[in-house]
Amino acid sequence: MRHPGRGHIADQYVDFYQWIRSDGLVVAAGSFHNVTIVPNNELRITLNATSVISVILSMSVNSGVPEEINLTIPGADLCLVSPGWFVFAPSETSIANFGDVAYDGAVAKFKNGTSAGPLGSDAVIANIQRGNKTYTETDVGGLSVTVRYRTQ
């Protein structure tokens, strides 16, 4: 991923995460300190919300040893509704073939005890488009979502 403002440095990319409170305020942001991402790397990113105020983030590159970040922020309830995966790049940059991005067990549990999955009536599917080309296709089923790069 490229981070706006940090940019592209000698064919390396910068990862980053944000913790967005349920009211939309960003209360934490950072990156994995011991991870270097270059073109053609395969990334595995996991997020395990252990409570509404605690999360374990994990990233491994090319099936290597994952780096973990444990965050707990009292009073900053996670939204637990809309996980996001983003790639930022200037418009003149070609879109990288990122393969498949899979969300397994994609379910949000609300404070009132109800839950919603990717097939819910409020679900929104957005594919990556530039000009008249669509670069992704999204498959949704049960509790899983897969975003797949479409070869042109």
pTM of the model: 0.58
Residue holding tokens 């991005």?
Answer: 101
Whole-number mean pLDDT of the chain?
76
Mean pLDDT of all residues in 71-76: 84
C-alpha neighbours within 13 Å on the C-beta side of residue 70? 2
Residue holding tokens 């995460």?
Answer: 17
**pLDDT score for 113:** 76
Residue 64: pLDDT band by 50, 70, 90 thresholds?
A: confident
**pLDDT score for 48:** 80
C-alpha neighbours within 13 Å on the C-beta side of residue 7? 3
How many other CB atoms sit within 10 Å of the CB of residue 106?
A: 17
Mean pLDDT of all residues in 25-41: 82
Of residues 51 and 84, the one with the higher pLDDT is: 51
pLDDT above 70 (res 1) = no
Pairing of strands 26-30, 43-51: unpaired
